[in-house]
Chains A and B, each alone.
Chain A
Amino acid sequence: MHNNNKAYSDIPGTTVFDGDMARIGFHLNQFCMSLMQAANRAEFKQDESAYLAKWPMTEAQRQAVLARDFSQLIDLGGNIYYLVKISSCDGLSVAAAVSTMTDLSVEDYLEMMQQGGRSPEGNRYVVTTSMEEKS
């Protein structure tokens, strides 16, 4: 899916924000950056679609922002430090925003963190079940 044929392609559930992602996500991330200013936040909140139309993003990126679909936004070149400017604007904690990318609810995610976080065991390498599937 992400980061194909790179040294980090085999790390599961992870998209490394490299040059390829930075390229496709440039305008998306700069839109996020604009939310650092209170006046822009107000304008965005008033009419999100109109505000997004001012940025030369792809339609898929605009839709993912409107849906607050963080997994999709990461796929489309968003960087987490930029994306949390959207969730901050919504009054959400970073943990709440981050949890939406996992298969856990916010409560279950926070509970997992309280228990010491997600174990690296089984999470270091993508598991390929057979040689056939590798091709």
Chain B
Amino acid sequence: MAKITSGVGTSHIPLLGHIIDKGDSGDEKWAPIFDGYRFTKQWIREQKPDVVILVYNDHATAFDMKMIPTFAIGCGEEYHPADEGYGARPVPIVKGAPKLAWHITESLIKQGFDMTVVNEMDVDHGLTVPLSMVFGEVEEWPCQVIPLAVNTVVYPSPTGERCLALGRAIRAAVEQFPEDVNVQVWGTGGMSHQLLGERAGLINQEWDLAFMDDLKSDYEKLGAISQVEYIRESGTEGSEMVMWLIMRGALHDQVNEVHRHYHVPVSNTALGHLIYENVNDGAEESV
């Protein structure tokens, strides 16, 4: 049977992709950023996930103002890195997991989550930067990816409670898949940042660190944070943190935090990254 073994939370800041693509990730200047992913690169080689369900937001790339799905799941065979206005990132094509993705989609819709199905789209830095930060520079990505795009661009985003519930539903769906597949769920985006207006550049370290603390055991509390509160406390784009709640909801109630990294600033943004492994692996009943 398929199972979700662990979760990763990470920012998906475009500058990180630029640094890697220019070959500068080993530069001393960027060490405070990339050193925080050294553990992760080793860890992922040991974990060998077959499939990563990668929760991210599209930044006016595959979806423009014509269509704004709140939750979209990629069921396609593959996804090309997008040209975001300065040429596509020179990273491998992302291979999908269509059979599992369709299984999850059917289950989610039956559980009350009316997903938008996407068979063809390009994927932007929101999806490819986390892959680069975790797997490094590789000839091909060593796992399949199910993109799960969440609208965090146009207000309102889905609520934190809904995102936690979606995570739980994903877990139930994966556990009903009959093949032995090692699945991870990654929540990306954040942490605090605001990219517009006179208040641009807002960073709330205290808020970010408290969020990371609470995500392990008090995550239900985080589900109650409204988008207005995210905006007030951590900036207009700080509300991307709801995507970490999908990852958290997909894991067991009990998790071990095996890694954490936080750094300010990267470009306009605070960078946050952590890894959870499920406790009682396999012993806990399905939700």
Interface residues of A (CB under 8 A from B): 7-8, 11-19, 22, 25-26, 29-30, 32-33, 35-38, 41, 70-71, 74, 79-82, 84-85, 88-89, 93-95, 98-99, 101-103, 109, 112-114, 116-120, 123-125
Say yes or no: B201 contacts A98, CB within 8 Å: yes
Instruction: Out of A8, A79, A98, A116, name the residue touching B60 (CB < 8 Å).
Output: A79
Chain B residues within an 8 Å CB radius of A16:
155, 231, 236
**Mask: chain B, 184-219; 1 = CB below 8 Å from A; 0 = not:** 000000001011111111111101000000000000
Q: Which residue of B lies closest to A88 (CB)?
A: B85
Judged by a CB distance under 8 angstroms, whether B267 is at the interface is yes
Question: In the bound complex, what is the Cα–Cα distance between A116 and B265 (angstroms)?
Answer: 6
State whether A82 and B265 are in contact (beta carbons under 8 Å apart), knowing that A30-B65, A36-B85, A88-B84 are contacts in the complex.
no
Judged by a CB distance under 8 angstroms, whether B222 is at the interface is no
Say yes or no: A13 contacts B197, CB within 8 Å: yes
CB-CB contacts below 8 Å: B153-209 with A: 153-156, 192, 194-205, 207
Question: In the bound complex, what is the Cα–Cα distance between A118 and B154 (angstroms)?
Answer: 24
**Number of A-B contacts defined by CB within 8 Å:** 145
Q: Which 10 A-B pairs have the closest CB atoms?
A: A117-B203, A13-B199, A13-B198, A88-B85, A113-B265, A18-B155, A118-B201, A81-B60, A80-B196, A33-B64
Question: What's the least CB distance linking A22 to chain B, in Å?
Answer: 6
Counting chain B CB atoms within 10 Å of each CB, the highest count among A11, A13, A19, A81 belongs to A81
Question: In the bound complex, what is the Cα–Cα distance between A116 and B263 (angstroms)?
Answer: 9
Instruction: Out of B195, B197, B264, name the residue touching A116 (CB < 8 Å).
Output: B264
Judged by a CB distance under 8 angstroms, whether B33 is at the interface is no
**Mask: chain B, 61-88; 1 = CB below 8 Å from A; 0 = not:** 1001110000000000000000111100
State whether A74 and B196 are in contact (beta carbons under 8 Å apart), knowing that A22-B154, A30-B65 are contacts in the complex.
yes
Question: In the bound complex, what is the Cα–Cα distance between A5 and B162 (angstroms)?
Answer: 26
Say yes or no: B233 contacts A124, CB within 8 Å: yes
**Mask: chain B, 34-69; 1 = CB below 8 Å from A; 0 = not:** 000000000000000000000000011100111000
Question: What's the least CB distance linking A94 to chain B, in Å?
Answer: 6
Counting chain A CB atoms within 10 Å of each CB, the highest count among B85, B226, B265 belongs to B85
State whether A36 and B83 are in contact (beta carbons under 8 Å apart), knowing that A94-B14, A98-B200 are contacts in the complex.
yes
Q: Which residue of A lies closest to B233 (CB)?
A: A120
CB-CB contacts below 8 Å: B223-262 with A: 226, 228, 231-234, 236
Question: In the bound complex, what is the Cα–Cα distance between A89 and B84 (angstroms)?
Answer: 10
Say yes or no: B228 contacts A7, CB within 8 Å: yes
State whether A8 and B232 are in contact (beta carbons under 8 Å apart), knowing that A79-B60, A81-B153, A116-B264 are contacts in the complex.
yes
Sample of 9 further A-B pairs with CB below 8 A, known A38-B83, A113-B265, A119-B203: A18-B156, A22-B65, A30-B64, A71-B198, A81-B153, A82-B65, A102-B199, A102-B200, A123-B199
